[in-house]
Amino acid sequence: MRTLQENGTVTPLRVWDGVTVRVVHGDVLSMAVAELAPGIVVPEHRHVNEQIGVVIQGSALFTAEGKTVELGAGGTYRFLANVPHKVEAGPEGAVFVECFSPVREDWKTLEPADSATRWPE
């Protein structure tokens, strides 16, 4: 991977139906632009990675630790390692920028996505 590149040159990868990520891996963390189709539900899941992100477009309902909160553009979230969480994209979909530590090794084998990306427009 090049040190500097435009987001549009990073191949979108399919995580789930309706969820794509464009990922940059470093030595100790991964950063992703995640795009969720309108109304898509990311099922409850957990991972060994701490996850911190910001909504940059659209909105989503985030559920973790018995609480559900709707976040729009500018909203931030944090999930510690192994904390179950679920996300439901709003009616216009959502775009997040997320960081994971340690590196998302499981995402290094994802297949390219079929759909075009939404951000940047």
- Give the whole-angstrom CA distance, residue 24 versus residue 68: 29
Pair 81, 47: CB distance under 8 Å? yes
Domains of the chain, start order: 19-106 (2.60.120.10)
CA angle 81-114-62, nearest 5°? 30
Pair 45, 84: CB distance under 8 Å? yes
Q: Residues 51-70: pLDDT tens digits?
A: 999 999 999 999 999 999 99
**Burial class of 120 by CB neighbour count within 10 A (0 to 12, 13 to 18, 19+):** exposed
The arithmetic mean of pLDDT across residues 27-43, rounded, is 96
Paired residues of 14 in beta bridges: 20
In the predicted structure, residue 8 carries a pLDDT above the cut 90? no
The arithmetic mean of pLDDT across residues 74-103, rounded, is 97
The predicted pLDDT at position 2 comes to: 66
The predicted pLDDT at position 51 comes to: 98
